[in-house]
A and B are shown apart, each in its own frame.
Chain A
C-alpha cells in the first residue's frame, strides 16, 4: 500500500505533463465551442427561417453524434480528401464542434429568458440598440449562462481523455507507458481517476467562485 503510494508520487511529474495536455485540450475545445455556439445561438434566434432550420439541424447533428465518431471522421476521414491535420487539432475540432451545439443551447436559453421588455426599457431610455445589447442584455445573458457553461466545461474536461484514441500523450497515455515497465495498472489508473477528479473539482469551484463574485440578487447562478 505505502509502496504503491510512493511509486505513484515519484511518477507524478510525468502524469502532470498529461494534466497540462488535458487542460489545453479542454480550454481550446470549449473556446472553439463558444465562438461557434454564440454564432449559432444568434442565428437560431435572429436568422431567417431557412437559416434557423439549418442551424437547428446543426445543433441536432452535433448533439447526437458520438464524440469519438466525430473525432474519427476528422482524424481518419479527412486525410482521404486531402486534409491533413495534427492529432491535437483534430481533437480540439472534434470536441469543440460537439460542445458548440450544447453551448448554443445554453446561450440561446439565456438570451431568450431575458425577455423583450429589457430591450424596450433600454431603448426607451434613449440607448441605441447596440448599447442596450452591451449594457443591458449581455451582462444578464452572461450571468444566466454561467451555470450551464460551468457544466459544459466539466463535460468537455471529462471527454478530453478521448484524445487517447488518436494517440495524444495525455494522462492515460503516460499512465500506459508506466504500466508497460511497472505492471501496476490498478494503482496507476486509480491515480489517473483521482487526478481527473481533482481537476474536475478545481474547475468546478473556480467557476463557482466566479459566479458568486458576480452574483446579483434574483439570478441563481452559483447553484448546483
Chain B
C-alpha cells in the first residue's frame, strides 16, 4: 500500500495532534503574555525583592533547556506527591517559557521609549502607574509586536518537544503513524510542511495586527 492510501485512516489522529499543537501554542502565548506584563513592570519599575524575583525567574527560565524543564515538571514534581497530566505539564512549561521570553521582548520595547515621555506624563500630573498604563505601555507594546510574533513562531516550533513527555501532539501522532506503517520519511516530511504552514499563518496574522495598530512614527524598521 502506498503512503497516500494508508494516510486517510490516520487523518483524524493527526488532526487531533494538530489541534493540540495549536491549543498549546495559543494558550501558552496568551497566558505567557499576561504573566509577562507584571514581570516586565517589576523589572523596570520596582526596586528590591519584586525586581530581584523577576530577574531571577527570567534568568533561570532562559538559562535552561526547555526539554529539561519539561522533564523536571513532568517527572520531577510528581515525586513531591503532585500528579500532573502530560498536557498540563507541557502547558506549564510553555507558559513559563513564553512569559520569560515575552517579558524580555517587552523590556526591549520599554527601553526604546525616551525618558522624556515619562517626564512629560508626570508634568501634566499623571501618576506613575497611570503614566505607565496610558503612555508607556501602548508604545512599548507596538515596538514589541514583531518580537512577540516571533515568540509565537518559536512556540509553534517548540510544542513538538512535548512529544518527549508523551503529549499526543502533532509530532507524536506522526511517530505513531510511522511505527505502524514504516513511512518515516514521508510522514515527517508532511508534518514538516504543516509546521511551516502554521508559521506562515502566524506571520501573516502578525503583519495584519501590525498594520491594524499602525501609527505614523512607529515604523519598526527604523528601530532595528
Which residues of A are interface residues toward B (Cβ below 8 A)? 60-61, 64-70, 72-73, 76-81, 157-162, 164-165, 171-172, 175, 179, 183-190, 192-193, 196-197, 200-201
- Whether A77 and B184, one on each chain, are in contact in the complex, defined by CB atoms closer than 8 angstroms, is yes
| Interchain CB contact under 8 A, B67 and A201 | no
* Known contacts A76-B178, A77-B184, A185-B79; A65 and B63 CB within 8 A of each other: no
Does residue B6 face the partner (Cβ distance < 8 Å to A)?
no
A-B Cβ contacts below 8 A, count: 122
Interface residue count on the B side (C-beta < 8 Å): 42
On whether the beta carbons of B65 and A190 are closer than 8 Å, the reply is no
B191-A69 in contact (CB<8A): yes
Extra 4 A-B pairs, beta carbons < 8 Å, given A65-B157, A179-B75: A66-B158, A68-B164, A69-B191, A164-B67
20 A-B residue pairs with CB within 8 Å: A61-B196, A64-B157, A65-B192, A66-B156, A68-B160, A73-B185, A77-B189, A78-B185, A160-B65, A161-B65, A165-B163, A172-B67, A189-B71, A190-B72, A190-B76, A192-B72, A193-B64, A193-B68, A196-B64, A196-B65
CB contacts (< 8 Å) of B192 on chain A: these are 65-66, 69-70, 73
Asked if B64 and A72 sit within 8 Å, CB to CB, the answer is no
A68 touches B72 (CB 8 A): no
A185 and B183 alpha carbons, distance in the complex (Å): 35
Contacts of A192 in B (CB 8 A): 68, 71-72
- Knowing A77-B185, A77-B188, A77-B189, the reply to whether A66 touches B164 (Cβ < 8 A) is no
Tell whether, in the assembled complex, residue B184 and residue A161 are in contact, meaning their CB atoms are under 8 Å apart: no
Give, as a whole number of angstroms, the nearest-CB distance from A25 to chain B.
12
Contact: A66 with B195, CB < 8 Å? yes
Closest A-B pairs by Cβ, 10 of them: A77-B185, A76-B184, A66-B160, A189-B72, A186-B79, A189-B76, A186-B76, A185-B75, A158-B65, A66-B157
Return the CB mask of B131-154 against A: 1 if under 8 Å, else 0: 000000000000000000000010
Q: Which secondary structure dominates where chain A touches chain B?
A: helix
Residues of B within 8 A of A186 (CB): 72, 76-77, 79-80
In B57-82, the 8 Å CB interface with A consists of 60, 63-69, 71-72, 75-80
- Shortest CB–CB separation between residue A187 and chain B, in angstroms? 8
User: In the complex, are the beta carbons of A64 and B199 less than 8 A apart?
Assistant: yes
| B residues less than 8 Å from A196 (CB atoms) | 63-65, 68
Chain A proximity mask over B168-204: 1 for CB below 8 Å, otherwise 0: 0001001100100011111011011001100110000
Interface residues of B in 83-113 (CB under 8 A from A): none
- Which chain A positions have C-beta within 8 A of B195? 64-66, 69
Residue of A nearest to B21 (CB): A66
* Cβ–Cβ < 8 Å partners of A193 in chain B: 64-65, 68-69, 72
CB distance from A21 to the nearest CB of B (A): 14
**Residues B160 and A69 in contact, CB atoms below 8 Å apart:** yes
Nearest opposing residue in chain B for A22, CB measure: B65
A162 and B76 contact, CB distance less than 8 A: no
